[in-house]
């Protein structure tokens, strides 16, 4: 993902088109996780669904080698994302189910996804400096092959519907605390739009090498891992609301620093370390809250709704708006807009969430 926008730029697409194509990936998260989440909750076959959708995602992605036009790439990415975005929420639900009453230990497992991210961006950065962007689709394809293989190492769950709970999914969603949490997640992920879409291009235009940019991406995830290692202690001690507010406040600081101090490597290093808060703390708290609010056979759809409304709708809006803002008012103003969005999420969480219910 950090290098995909570079590949799109190499095909001749402008900022608005790159923003649109990145938004397609995010937009499919609005629909796909909910469809597959409904199937998983009604069949109990989460792991089989994960295996199927990752295989179909691999097959769909091969289409990028068959054409380079805007509409062709958009269609391929849309089909690929429909399957790819189905798997992660079910992995989250499966993991939380396996953890049982130790759900606060989720972050100790999730950190391995961060380790994989670091290996990918650090290894690929120097290769791009030597070979160029044409290797990016090949690298993604190989990663998808590894993903498909890894799904067969996950033990099967009992192939039966999950336990029933009183009330429908709509009754859960009608609770004010649930609505506020989902809205905060939407705003926080929307604020990441400029980062996930244009950070690599932004840093390259500021004079940083692709190898160094890859190391900066990795540094952010190293900080994220550090947080995941201790979240199982922080959550019981400080509570979900306090940690959520901390992450939202530091996210706004991060985007302000990124906007104004791109020429300072020291500030950019510090800004990347704040990824520990803007993603690490936030995501661990969000997964904890969703698992607590959506119980029984609502778990799969709860994780799907979190994914679709935050990474999906939030990510799509963020990517789309950043593409248009980047072209219209420039990079600095775009990151400032991101800071305002996360600040709005902070205010909403501060005024709307009750610590005793979380």
Contact 352, 181 (CB under 8 A): no
Contact 15, 189 (CB under 8 A): no
pLDDT in tens, 284-326: 899 888 888 877 666 667 777 887 888 888 888 998 899 899 9
- What are 157's two structure tokens? 């769950």
CA distances from 229 to 67, 104, 107, 132, 233 (A): 43, 11, 7, 35, 9
Ranges of the chain with pLDDT below 70: 103-104, 157-169, 296-300, 356-358
CA distance 40 to 92: 12
| pLDDT computed for residue 31 by the predictor | 82
| pLDDT computed for residue 357 by the predictor | 59
| pLDDT computed for residue 167 by the predictor | 62
Cβ count within 10 A of residue 15: 21
| pLDDT computed for residue 159 by the predictor | 42
pLDDT in tens, 196-209: 889 989 999 999 99
- Ramachandran region, residue 29 (left: φ > 0; alpha: ψ -120 to 50; beta: rest): alpha
Class of CATH domain 4-160+168-357: mainly alpha
| pLDDT computed for residue 161 by the predictor | 46
String of DSSP letters for 175-223: SHHHHHHHHHHHHHHHHTHHHHHHHHHHHHHTT--HHHHHHHHHHHHHH
| pLDDT computed for residue 160 by the predictor | 45
| pLDDT computed for residue 354 by the predictor | 82
């Amino acid at each position: 993902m950090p290098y995909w926008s570079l590949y799109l730029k190499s095909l001749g697409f402008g900022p608005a088109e790159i923003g649109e194509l990145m938004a397609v990936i995010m937009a499919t998260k609005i629909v796909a996780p909910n469809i597959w989440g409904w199937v998983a909750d009604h069949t109990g076959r989460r792991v089989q669904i994960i295996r199927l959708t990752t295989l179909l995602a691999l097959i769909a992605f091969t289409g990028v080698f068959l054409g380079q036009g805007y509409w062709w790439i958009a269609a391929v990415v849309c089909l690929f994302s429909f399957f790819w975005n189905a798997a992660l929420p079910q992995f989250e639900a499966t993991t939380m189910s396996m953890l049982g009453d130790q759900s606060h230990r989720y972050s100790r497992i999730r950190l391995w996804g961060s380790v994989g991210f670091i290996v990918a961006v650090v290894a690929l950065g120097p290769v791009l400096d030597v070979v160029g962007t044409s290797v990016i689709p090949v690298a993604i394809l190989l990663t998808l092959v590894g993903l498909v293989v890894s799904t067969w190492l996950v033990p099967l769950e009992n192939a039966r519907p999950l336990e029933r709970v009183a009330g429908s999914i709509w009754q859960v969603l009608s609770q004010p605390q649930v609505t506020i949490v989902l809205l905060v997640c939407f705003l926080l992920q929307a604020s990441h739009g400029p980062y996930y879409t244009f950070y690599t291009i932004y840093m390259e235009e500021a004079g940083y090498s692709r190898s160094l940019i890859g190391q900066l991406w990795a540094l952010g995830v190293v900080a994220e891992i550090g947080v995941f290692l201790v979240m199982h202690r922080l959550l019981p001690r400080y509570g979900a609301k306090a940690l959520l507010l901390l992450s939202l406040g530091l996210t706004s600081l991060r985007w302000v620093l990124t906007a104004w101090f791109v020429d300072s490597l020291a500030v950019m290093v510090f800004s990347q370390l704040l990824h520990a808060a803007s993603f690490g703390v936030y995501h661990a708290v969000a997964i904890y809250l969703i698992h607590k609010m959506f119980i029984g056979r609502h778990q799969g759809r709860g994780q799907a709704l979190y994914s679709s409304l935050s990474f999906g709708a939030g990510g799509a809006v963020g990517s789309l708006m950043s593409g248009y803002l980047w072209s219209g008012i420039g990079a600095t103003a775009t990151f400032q807009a991101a800071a305002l969005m996360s600040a709005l999420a902070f205010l909403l969480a501060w005024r709307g969430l009750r610590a005793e219910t979380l």
